[in-house]
Each structure stands twice: as structure tokens, then as C-alpha cells.
Amino acid sequence: MFLRNTWYVAATSADVQDKPLGRTICGESMVFFRGDGGKVSALEDFCPHRGAPLSLGKVCNGKLVCGYHGLEMGCDGKTVAMPGQRVRGFPAIRSFAVVERYGFIWVWPGDVTLADEGTMPVFEFFDNPAWAYGGGLYHIKCNYQLMIDNLMDLTHETYVHASSIGQKEIDEVPCTTKVEGDHVITSRFMENISAPPFWQMALRGNHLADDVPVDRWQICHFTPPSHVMIEVGVAHAGKGGYHAPDHTKAYSVVVDFITPETETSILYFWGMARKFQPQNAELTASIREGQGKIFAEDLEILESQQRNLSKYPERNLLMLNIDAGGVQSRRVIARLLAQENSGITA
């Protein structure tokens, strides 16, 4: 079950340039392409002629041309032309609401008449010269809620990411979880510890000593439908931790846009926005590479976990103290799903 009347990241702006892109979002096969003026459209990925995916075609003069028999599809889902054929009576295909913002293409997979740009999430770190951003996309064969669970409980870092961001203090310092409406926040603050390798690299990136004790923080923010922003960082110990001045810390936000593809697969747009040395493109590249390697370590766990859960769907799982963030996020999703399915709009 997916929340449908909401915005999901479907692609990066760079993913959709001169060619159409086929993506499945919440079970809907969609084709994304740039029509007249470069504006992105999203349509059903289904040629009304013979059902071929339009994403196998090409874009010519702002029209999406089917790769099978040359049907020309317009941005609104209405056929514009077809060789040797009049098209007035062709039934329109479904079109989806799309917004391009922050370097991403956002789609509303539900009722297009309810699509509201005003409900788009707002992020201070995009299009902001004080911040730099780098990220990537992983296609993971697991339910989207397993990815949210993963990101709302960072104790797994100690085991899954032992050589980069994991450290025993994560296990030793309990987290606290609070719920503010639809917003779930799980926080952990560790004091006077050594920085693990990834954070040593980040400290050096901000021209800070990497071999002195640090205070480290992790503040995970879940917001619907499936965005997880994690404030992370280290500051030289005793400088104020999370509140330390910028020049004594390396502070970032792990950006996670989790887009359900099917019940057992996701498009995982991961990235890191950092508030230090934003002009340093080399640093952006090395952080991106490091983060990409770290997040690839989650892939095997999540896909294997999904295979187990699919094999034994009746098994009850334990929800322990470390799982409070994931549990509360699931409760928010369940409440909103019930609202959406009963026809009440927020």
C-alpha cells in the first residue's frame, strides 16, 4: 500500500534530458520526457495504439514518438499525429502531475486533480550557496518501509558499516524518539568519542584535525510519504557539539528520498548536503564516493531481509527500543493511508 496523493522523487533532472525515461512509481508505469520548452511531462508508459511502452521511443520536436509505429504523443496524453492515420478519436492516456525542483523530478502518482505544488517539501540546503550536494540512485529490491526502518535506526551502522561510520558508541548511547504530527524525530548524541574513518575524512575536508576527540550527533527526521533527512556530523569535543560554530565541525544532512516502485522494490535517491567547504567540488566527489560505498552495504542486507519476509510473511518481527523511530514512522504512514483510502484529504 502506498500513499498516492503526494509527491515522490521520480528521477534527477539529469536523468531526463533528450530521451524519454521509463520508471515505475507506486506500481504505475510512467514515461518522463521533456516537451516544448524543456518542461517535463509524465504519462502512462503505454502507447494507445498497441500498448508498447512509449519510453522505448524518442523525443522529436517536443513530442514523444512511439518506437513501434511512430505514433506522436503530446505532453497532455493526447495523440498528436500518426503516420497515415487521423488521430482525433484516439483515447487519451493518463497524465501525471510533475514538478521539477531542487534538481529532481517530482511526480504525484495519485489523483491529478488533487495535485498541489504547495505541499511540496521545502529544503534549505538545495539551491543554497552555503551548502553543497552530491548523491546517487540505488534500485533496491525491498519494500520502502524496510528502507525507512533502516534509516530511522542507525545502530545498524556499527555492524553494516563497521569500517566507515560504525562505532561501538552508537550501541552504547540510547536514542530518543519523538513525534510531532507527521514528523518523527530520532536523535542520538555521543560525546568525546573518536571519529570513525568517514568522519575523519570529512574533518580533513573542513581543514580540521581528525585525530582529536569529537562529539557526534545523528538526528533522523522522517516526513511522509517516505523522506528521511538525517542531520549528522562531528565537532571537536567540547565546542558545543551539534550547536558548535561551523568552523569547528563537519555538519551534513543525509538526504534520503525513498520512492516505492513495487511492494518489493524502491528507487532510493540518496545524497549528502554539507554545510562546509561548499565550493570544493573535489570534496563533494569524495564524499559522494564514500557515501555510495557505505550505502551499497545496506543493499545486500535489505534485499536478503525482503526475501526472508516474502518467504515467511506470517512471521512477526520484534520491535525493540532501537526501532522506535521506524515504528512511529510506520504509524504515521498507516494513519495517512487510512485517511487517503477513506477519501478524506488532509
Partner 1 sequence: MSDNLNAGLDTPVGSDGVFTLALVKSGLRLTVGPDQTALQVLEAAGIDVPMSCGQGICGTCLTRVVGGVPDHRDMYLSGEEQDANDQFTPCCSRSQTAVLMLDL
Residues that bind partner 1 (CB under 8 A): 85-86, 88-90
SS3 category, 291: helix
HSE (CB half, 13 Å, CA atoms) of 236? 14
HSE (CB half, 13 Å, CA atoms) of 137? 13
User: Which cell goes with 201?
Assistant: 575524512
CB 30 within 8 A of CB 64: no
Nearest to partner 1 of 86, 207 (CB atom): 86
Nearest to partner 1 of 89, 245 (CB atom): 89
Nearest to partner 1 of 88, 315 (CB atom): 88
Peptide bond into 174 cis (omega under 30): no
User: Which cell goes with 9?
Assistant: 522523487
CA distance 49 to 302: 39
As measured in angstroms, the least distance from the Cβ of 91 to partner 1 is 8
As measured in angstroms, the least distance from the Cβ of 88 to partner 1 is 5
As measured in angstroms, the least distance from the Cβ of 61 to partner 1 is 24
Nearest to partner 1 of 87, 301 (CB atom): 87
As measured in angstroms, the least distance from the Cβ of 68 to partner 1 is 16
Nearest to partner 1 of 85, 304 (CB atom): 85
As measured in angstroms, the least distance from the Cβ of 86 to partner 1 is 6
